[in-house]
Structure 1
Amino acid sequence: MTFEQSNINRTTSTPPSMLEFPWHETPLGARDTWPATLAVAVEMIMASKFPQCLVWGEELITIHNEAFKPLLGEKPNAQGRPFSDVWSESWEAIAPIAARAFAGEATFIEDFQLQVVRRGYPELAYFTFCYSPVRDEHGRVLGILDTVVETTEKVVIESQLLHEQQRQRTLNETLEKRVAQRTRERDSIWQHSRDLLATLDDSGRLSSASPSWQRILEQQGESLLGRSFLELMHPNDIEAAREQLALLTNDSVQIKSRCAHADGSWRWIAWYLTVDGETTYAYGRDIDEEKQRAAALAQVEEQLRQAQKMDAVGQLTGGIAHDFNNLLAGIIGNLELLGSRISQGNIGGLERYTGAALGAANRAANLTHRLLAFSRRQTLAPKPINVNHLVQDLEELLQRTVGPHIQVEFDPATSPWTVLVDPNQLENAVLNLCINARDAMPEAGTLGITTRNVTLTLEQAQMHDVPPGEYLSLQVSDTGSGMAQPIIARAFDPFFTTKPTGKGTGLGLSMIYGFARQSGGMAYIESCVDDGTTVYILLPRDHQLAQAPDAAPQPGESLKTLPAPHKNILLVDDETTLRELIGEVLEELGYAVLHAENGPRALDILQSSAAIDLLLSDVGLPGGMNGRQVADAAREIRPGLKVLFITGYAESSVMHADDLDVDMQVLTKPFEIDTLACRVTQLLG
């Protein structure tokens, strides 16, 4: 079924909520694949009580909150549809404004007139809205945040009031016999109007004030007579109001100012003033609530900007520079000593320096993996697993790790639900949590590991920021010192640690949180001072029983055990040193290697008559084409060509195994030479 057909079918029943909507049928894909910028923006609008929608990507996909629905009337469900389709009848007027927002310009327009069809017939409506560009961490505009309120009723009332004013001016020129009737009508408006009404003499002083002054500002009309109109305003607003009043001739002017309430507070009033002879008529509408809404909108936008800033901070922060500098010092120092010994002809014991350099390099690789886990950009290899079996296999290691003074207790769930996660990352998460628990119990205590099947209701799911449904809950608890609430609030922040200097990186819990979120679940903490701590990892239940084949290289294989295959490989990488190193390794294995430094050069080779059995390409490439685009183009030219991606940063196009075509695999940098050789041999059969 096509995207358009699915939307048509849904119009016959109650539209699904944003959380229930089948986003995988839209160009945005499943929610768990959304980039952080989109996920945060959606979280903000769904939390807002103000009508808001997000217009995302080149397809202008619409994501709106519940408060936005009344604006749609009986329109078909707008969720997941192109914004230009939702408002097709008025798109000609909206499109230029949307284009300005995508160009980076925030636009605020009041009482914008549109002809819309939302109840089966065209109607004229007015809206006050703000189009704010939503940027990613690189400053690129990916979408528009549309905050809107319908002002049709207000515009109609204002139009009626202005019409009444004109009608009264006309009545002044009619026959004397209608004066009484006109006076009664005017008096009725004067008495019952919900707006502040007043007349000013030629010196700008109030000559009359309607009873609404008492209702809105609790100011008696009699006490206002003879006072200057400007004296009623906040001192900071007087100068701007005076400039507007200077423009008042035969045309109306508008002034927004704060006016004093009897209780000493200030209320925002939108004034409409017009002059008739020596009398000025003033109509004031209370917009204090609208100002509060505008302030709330500004706060939401600031929260969105702060979330975007935190996402950028999560990718690279100053704290990592310290750790990397230490590791690089170890690598450089040992390599310099190695070079010095070789130049002196002293080749004894060189493995000590190479081993130290390799050890530091592996620790650096582990640190980058932790950062990728925190930022939810690591390359995962999810498999259906039984968490009980995983924990049972770890029990002996955990007991040795925490020491004999701590008792380890495992309380497994009966028939636990299968979950689809990367088992290595889950093992690391459990080990990290157990080490944290051990450190919280330096003398003695009990470490508990519990698994439970849980079903989250909509309310519970919203509390944990996950979709409602079935989850496997993995809990690691201790009887240690516990944590205060301010510590819990920051526990998942990167580089935050309560351990002494040199005892921890502050990335352990942030890595666990990132792994849980990237796996479609959540992590949270419950703790009290002196009453222990429990960390919960919620992982969504996997309803697919079939286990995906393991594409990892088999243990025990090495360069020496692999056969010489006599195959041809096209190697694409813009890093010359790495490309030459990989090429040399492959050539030693018996492969013929063709080199390309970017996508266009690779396409030139692919379009030639050269025999190629495997495309080995980095994901991030210069020249306007990334590795996935090169692979797609290569398969157009050479159908069935086998592809191995190598990447140090998991691009969304190869983030999950489900995104890869047949005979496509991913290898994450840094990798061992043996691992590369095994993976290439496996792909080439």
Structure 2
Amino acid sequence: MSPSIGPKSEALSFLSAGGQMGEFFRSYAWDQTPMGAPEAWPQSLRTSLGFVLNSTLLGAVLWGPELRLLYNDAYRIMLGDRHPWALGRPVTEVWGETYAPIADAFAEVMTSGKGFGSNEILLPMTRSGVRQTTYWNATASPVFGEDSSIVGILNVAIETSDQVIANHTRDARHKLLSRKNISLAEAIDSRTLERDKAIEAKLVAARDAERVQLALAAGAIVGTWSWDLTQDCFTIDEGFSESFGLESLNRLDDIPLAGIISNVHPSDQEGLANAIRDAICRGGPYAHQYRVRRQDGDYHWVEANGRVEHAHDGTPLRFPGVILDLDEKRELLAQRDQAIEELRNLNAALEHRIEERTRELMQSEEALRQSQKMEAVGHLTGGLAHDFNNLLAGISGALDLISMRVEQGRTENLAKYVSTAQDAADRAAALTHRLLAFARRQTLLPVATDVNRLIGDMLDMIQRTVGPGIRVESMRAADLWTVLVDRSQLENSLLNLCINARDAMPDGGLLTVETCNRRVDRDVGKELSIPEGQYLSMSVSDNGTGMPPEVVARAFDPFFTTKPIGAGTGLGLSMIYGFAKQSGGHVRIYSEIGEGTSVCIYLPRYSGSAMDNDHSTEPLRLVPTDAGETVMIVDDEPTIRMLFSDVLEDMGYHVIQAADSLTGLSILQSDIRLDLLISDVGLPGGMNGRQMAEAARVSRPSLKVLFVTGFAENAMLNEGHLGPGMSVLTKPFNIGVLTERVKELISR
């Protein structure tokens, strides 16, 4: 007996858009079933079930070791009167022998964690009491629980019975038509051979006879004729007479050509006359198709086959031949053409339906991938929180000790606490940048870069990082093109790849950094999802352990890592992928088990000249100003405004503060002297920092602006996209960098 339907459960309120089954799930008395109350359901079940219930495709979650069936509206319709009895029951109990053909494949998904899919699964099914053979395009993907174990299967399917049956029918009709055509061709060839032999024998035995009598057993040959060209006299047989509608004639000989062709279709008479004239002039074989009218008034198609005999001096003498009925052949050909046209239309319709269903399936798979990514984020949120809390503990603890020592008057060892806090802040900034790079939402500062020089400057650091057991080589192409790229992000990407290569060679090996100019054509560009054109490639290769295909396929997924817990966040390759795509390029991985791995970054060519690298790391120096310049700071974070104001006021600048864009714009539109605007990009107040600055420049066209941001609505906020007198700094940054940039902008 099915459990009764009880009060609506708030535990499933997030399934508000799940259709009829969503409502059914929310009101079902789950506490009376082996599934238990929804309040105890794990997040992995809720995520996969939410995806299924909101999908328009036929879908189900098979949950737990017993694979209990939880399904959506489309699946409910297929179940028929099995619903609602089937809800929450083991799939084998619900489907019985219908499940048997795929049972092993689904069991393999539960044990191996590898997905399963097929576009022509045959399942016997009973519908409305009638047993049918059905075909399905189905996928089965593992559902991973909170502890990474396999806890169920996500099953999405599309019925393709009509398509598969139509394809089978088409193939059968093709074979049938092929056999008919072969049989017809064999019959025609055989009869033509018999006809030619009979004509030749009669001509030899009775050359001076008034007619040629051909033996006619059956089939397409329906009559014979012999035409005395010297007298214009035809001798025909009864079959010819019936075929040409000449039964009213009193005799079968001494008939002139005009009497023979009197019943030929008017539209075909000119063509027939030309064919006869040509055959008589050249001599030899003759064949022509046309329509003639029978005595009942109906026209039918015939083919006349004969041979014109000439005397030694070239005079035409005789023209014997036979008549073949083409109606049967033409009917077969018409049936064939009609069948081909029907098949063509059917194929077009099926292809359209397949495209639509494939598109739906791809959309569902993309939604599933996004769901799995979010589930992965949920699994690792605790780990990320752990990392950030450690960093914050280092910063907070160092600041507490500094505060305590200052109160005690013990200032001699404060430098180590400052260094500790700064190091933790730098590590937190690096982790944030990796997350933004993966999301392709970081603020890039691209400059024209000589990649060969960048690699050369980093080789010593790379060698120290990978250790003495690994030999580092570089193969840098001559005349390498310039690229427009964020130099620090490219350096970070190169170092990450070298560290990954080091980890893949625990016993040592060879690490190679290589550059090359590449031309990407349309086909390769389509494969890489980048426009065709000229690209620079930078690759890092190792001869280490290599990766299996399933690892390569997931290498760029966020938080995916094969390293032990604590040895990596799984964001390195994701960051590199996001950075490359955001820079207009791409990343590819080539790997073989036991042979090693090569990761190649493609970056679009830049036509400008490379800029010199700036490795300045000068400490903070506050150079006072005596010109009384006014700087306005607009930022919604009070601590940022306080820090910037203190530093700039120490330098002698007059500072004005605003916490939102509305207040800032009102000051900017006044007549107060302003020499520089420093503004965050993301601001409250109805407009962002960029919009506020552009509005201010209507009345202050020469206003100089410095944007400071850690996240921009336009992630490519850089000098190449800014107006004159505008610059950008990405948070976090050294205060010394800020003061130098302020001095530089004001002095322009």
TM-score using structure 2 length: 0.51
Give the counterpart of 2:726 among 659, 664, 671.
Answer: 664
Distance 1:349 1:467, change over 3 A: same
Measured after TM superposition, the shift of residue 600 of structure 1 is 1.0
Task: Give 2:549's aligned residue.
Answer: 485
Distance 1:680 1:326, change over 3 A: same
Give the counterpart of 2:654 among 592, 595, 608.
Answer: 592
Task: Give 1:649's aligned residue.
Answer: 711
Post-superposition CA distance 1:149-173 (Å, at most 9, x none): xxxxxxxxxxxxxxxxxxxxxxxxx
Amino acid at match of 1:296: T
Alignment of 1:537-616 (within 5 A): 537-542=601-606, 544-546=607-609, 555-556=617-618, 558-561=620-623, 563-616=625-678
Give the counterpart of 2:739 among 660, 677, 681.
Answer: 677
Task: Give 1:147's aligned residue.
Answer: none
Contact 1:568–1:614 under 8 Å retained in 2: yes
Measured after TM superposition, the shift of residue 558 of structure 1 is 3.3
Alignment partners' CA distance in 2, 1:442 and 1:235: 55
Measured after TM superposition, the shift of residue 339 of structure 1 is 3.0
Amino acid at match of 1:492: F
Task: Give 2:479's aligned residue.
Answer: 415
Alignment partners' CA distance in 2, 1:263 and 1:354: 72
Contact 1:628–1:653 under 8 Å retained in 2: no
Contact 2:438–2:571 under 8 Å retained in 1: yes
Alignment partners' CA distance in 2, 1:631 and 1:480: 53
Measured after TM superposition, the shift of residue 525 of structure 1 is 0.7
Post-superposition CA distance 1:279-336 (Å, at most 9, x none): xxxxxx9987766554323223324545666887899972532221111121122223
User: What SS is found at the alignment partner of 2:429?
Assistant: helix
Contact 1:558–1:678 under 8 Å retained in 2: no
Are 1:429 and 2:493 an aligned pair? yes
Post-superposition CA distance 1:197-233 (Å, at most 9, x none): xxxxxxxxxxxxxxxxxxxxxxxxxxxxxxxx98779
TM-score using structure 1 length: 0.56
Task: Give 1:337's aligned residue.
Answer: 401
Amino acid at match of 1:382: P
Are 1:385 and 2:484 an aligned pair? no
Alignment partners' CA distance in 2, 1:589 and 1:326: 35
Alignment partners' CA distance in 1, 2:636 and 2:676: 18
Question: Radius of gyration: which is bigger?
Answer: 2
Give the counterpart of 1:356 among 420, 436, 444.
Answer: 420
Alignment partners' CA distance in 2, 1:629 and 1:300: 39
Alignment partners' CA distance in 2, 1:432 and 1:673: 27
Task: Give 1:72's aligned residue.
Answer: none
Distance 1:288 1:382, change over 3 A: closer
Give the counterpart of 2:531 among 464, 467, 489.
Answer: 467
Task: Give 2:5's aligned residue.
Answer: none
Measured after TM superposition, the shift of residue 385 of structure 1 is 2.3
Contact 1:483–1:527 under 8 Å retained in 2: yes
Alignment partners' CA distance in 2, 1:614 and 1:564: 16
Distance 1:565 1:492, change over 3 A: farther
Post-superposition CA distance 1:343-383 (Å, at most 9, x none): 44444423222221221111111111111222222222222
Give the counterpart of 1:443 among 502, 507, 512.
Answer: 507
Alignment partners' CA distance in 1, 2:163 and 2:426: 71
User: Unpaired segments of 5 or more residues in structure 2?
Assistant: 1-16, 18-126, 135-158, 169-344
Amino acid at match of 2:454: L
Measured after TM superposition, the shift of residue 444 of structure 1 is 2.0
Alignment partners' CA distance in 2, 1:549 and 1:530: 40
User: Unpaired segments of 5 or more residues in structure 1?
Assistant: 1-104, 106-228, 237-257, 268-284
Contact 1:315–1:371 under 8 Å retained in 2: no
* More divergent stretch after superposition (345-354 vs 614-623): 345-354
Measured after TM superposition, the shift of residue 573 of structure 1 is 0.7
Task: Give 2:564's aligned residue.
Answer: 500
Contact 1:473–1:538 under 8 Å retained in 2: yes
Alignment partners' CA distance in 2, 1:338 and 1:681: 31
Alignment partners' CA distance in 1, 2:455 and 2:612: 22
Alignment partners' CA distance in 2, 1:511 and 1:459: 26
Contact 1:314–1:374 under 8 Å retained in 2: no
Contact 2:450–2:483 under 8 Å retained in 1: yes
Task: Give 1:250's aligned residue.
Answer: none
Amino acid at match of 1:412: R
Alignment partners' CA distance in 2, 1:262 and 1:471: 44
Alignment partners' CA distance in 2, 1:575 and 1:315: 28
Measured after TM superposition, the shift of residue 678 of structure 1 is 0.7
Amino acid at match of 1:502: G
Task: Give 1:521's aligned residue.
Answer: 585
Alignment partners' CA distance in 2, 1:635 and 1:654: 21
Contact 2:556–2:573 under 8 Å retained in 1: yes
What percent identity do the matched residue pairs reach? 47
The alignment's C-alpha RMSD in Å is: 3.6
Contact 1:654–1:660 under 8 Å retained in 2: no
Contact 2:441–2:715 under 8 Å retained in 1: no
Give the counterpart of 2:691 among 611, 620, 629.
Answer: 629
Alignment partners' CA distance in 2, 1:315 and 1:588: 44
Alignment partners' CA distance in 2, 1:524 and 1:446: 20
Task: Give 2:388's aligned residue.
Answer: 324
Contact 1:234–1:260 under 8 Å retained in 2: no
Distance 1:570 1:372, change over 3 A: same
Alignment partners' CA distance in 2, 1:510 and 1:585: 37
User: What SS is found at the alignment partner of 1:452?
Assistant: strand
Post-superposition CA distance 1:468-522 (Å, at most 9, x none): 1111111111111111111111112222222222222222211111121111111
- Number of equivalenced pairs: 420
Distance 1:371 1:314, change over 3 A: farther
Task: Give 2:701's aligned residue.
Answer: 639
Alignment partners' CA distance in 1, 2:358 and 2:164: 24
Contact 2:648–2:655 under 8 Å retained in 1: yes
Contact 2:682–2:689 under 8 Å retained in 1: yes
Measured after TM superposition, the shift of residue 386 of structure 1 is 2.5
Post-superposition CA distance 1:103-134 (Å, at most 9, x none): xx9xxxxxxxxxxxxxxxxxxxxxxxxxxxxx
Give the counterpart of 2:518 among 451, 454, 457.
Answer: 454
Alignment partners' CA distance in 1, 2:701 and 2:463: 52
Post-superposition CA distance 1:374-433 (Å, at most 9, x none): 222222222222222222222222222222221112222132222221222222221211
Alignment partners' CA distance in 1, 2:479 and 2:596: 28
Task: Give 1:169's aligned residue.
Answer: none
Measured after TM superposition, the shift of residue 619 of structure 1 is 0.5
Amino acid at match of 1:646: V
Contact 2:539–2:601 under 8 Å retained in 1: yes
Task: Give 2:575's aligned residue.
Answer: 511
User: What SS is found at the alignment partner of 1:684?
Assistant: helix
Measured after TM superposition, the shift of residue 597 of structure 1 is 0.9
User: What SS is found at the alignment partner of 1:397?
Assistant: helix
Amino acid at match of 1:337: L
Contact 1:482–1:529 under 8 Å retained in 2: yes
Give the counterpart of 1:619 among 673, 681, 688.
Answer: 681
Amino acid at match of 1:663: G
